[in-house]
Structure 1
Amino acid sequence: MKKEEDIKLNENMSAEEMENLEDRQTVDNEDAVKEVESEEMGESKDSVEALKEENSKLKDQLLRTIAEFDNFRKRTNKEKAELILNGGKKTITDILPVLDDFERALEDKSDDPVAIKEGMQMIFNKFVKTLEGMGVKKIETNEADFNTDYHEAIAMVPGVGEDKKGKVIDCVQTGYTMNDQVIRHAKVAVGQ
């Protein structure tokens, strides 16, 4: 019905009035489009600003994290260097009393060989105890089966009998472990 009324109105209108009406509708449509575009632009500008602000925050956070990591790396390298330079400090501190005992033994003017031997044995025992306190232990080789994890064969002894075959016959140089890790293999002669 409305279309019929619009058609009747359009028939009664002059050409000039029709043009004016079309111009007004075009202007109204353009205004509506501009209004929608400006709303979208406003929202777009707001979202662009929000994204720029978020980007700025993330850049700042990234730069701070990089700086923190760089400081951590420098601090860790410095601590490593200090450990390398001063790592043996505790060991030396533990061994110094043994050195003091040796100095006292050398200053002693005793000619008694038994007393000298007893003094040396006491210093030796103190030194072994100090090493054990640091986790250093002697590798036992007496009547032990040859084990490549702990022993280094430097000689093979033939003709020792079946019961001595594959066993350590003699220890040429004592081996040691530190905290259950071999720091020096025992050099041994093995029965063949």
Structure 2
Amino acid sequence: MFKKIFKNMSQENTENIEKDNLMDDNVSENQETAQEELSVEEQLQQELAKEKDKFLRLFAEFENYKKRTSKERIDLFKTANQEVLQAMLPVLDDFDRAWTQISKSEDDALVKGVELIQEKLKSTLVAKGLEEVELKAGDVFNADFAEAITQIPAPSDELKGKIVDVIEKGYKLGDKIIRFPKVVIGQ
């Protein structure tokens, strides 16, 4: 009888142990499944974070592109007239030389007409952004704003290292010098 009881108990223990093992296996399978689900979720979170980062970088790059192209467009509009204005500078110089001779004329109608044309030409060029670089005899020479053609002995001590004469006027378009004034400096 004890044997039977012991056998039953041992069978029950074996069954309980097997049930416990099965439960442990189920728990560990559930834990593995949960871990797999967590790892899949973590992977998805990481992929989402990577995609967000790519998106932010792409967006920032696009914003920089827009700013750069708008700045380039503005610069282009500012200097779009540069070639035309540079081509007009010799005509303006010739007109100034002609004006010097015509202003000595006795014919008031001619002087008045040429003066009106000259003023209209200059005002049109100024409206397009052309400005004269203001230099005169006695100004200090600066190589960043003028081109020295030659040096001559200074007529006075005050003119040493300074501009003695302006041979050709200089012009700028906005902040950019498109033709440097040509000057003679005292030595």
TM-score of Structure 1 vs Structure 2, range by shorter chain: 0.5 to 0.7
Q: Which amino acid aligns with 1:149?
A: D
Mapping for residues 12-161 of structure 1, pairs under 5 Å: 16-17=7-8, 19-51=10-42, 53-54=44-45, 55=47, 59=51, 62=54, 66=58, 88=80, 114-133=108-127, 134=129, 136-161=131-156
- Displacement, 1:66? 4.5
Partner Cα separation in structure 2 for residue 86 and residue 162 of structure 1: 42
> Given the two structures, how large is their TM-score scaled by the length of structure 2?
0.59
Q: For 1:98-127, what per-residue CA distance to the aligned partner results, in whole angstroms no more than 9, with x for missing partners? A: xxxxxxxxxxxxxx9653443332222223
Q: TM-score, normalized by length of structure 1?
A: 0.58
CA gap of 1:82–1:177, structure 2 versus 1, over 3 A, is closer
Q: How far 1:25 sits from its partner (Å)? A: 3.7
Measure how far apart 1:156 and its partner are: 0.8
Q: Which has the higher contact order (CA 8 A, sep 6+)?
A: 2
Q: Which has the larger radius of gyration?
A: 1
The 1-side partners of 2:60 and 2:143 are apart by 48
Counterpart CA distance in 1 for 2:152 and 2:56 is: 69
AA partner of residue 117 (structure 2)? I
CA RMSD of aligned residues (A): 4.5
**Residues 1:179 and 2:174 aligned together:** yes
Q: Distance in 2 between matches of 1:159 and 1:68?
A: 59
Q: Which consecutive unaligned segments of at least 5 residues does structure 1 have?
A: 1-10, 93-111
Instruction: Report how far residue 135 of structure 1 moved.
Output: 5.6
**Count of residues in correspondence between the two structures:** 163
Deviation of residue 18 (structure 1)? 5.7
2: CA distance between counterparts of 1:61 and 1:159? 68
Unpaired segments of 5 or more residues in structure 2?
85-105
| Aligned-pair identity (%) | 18
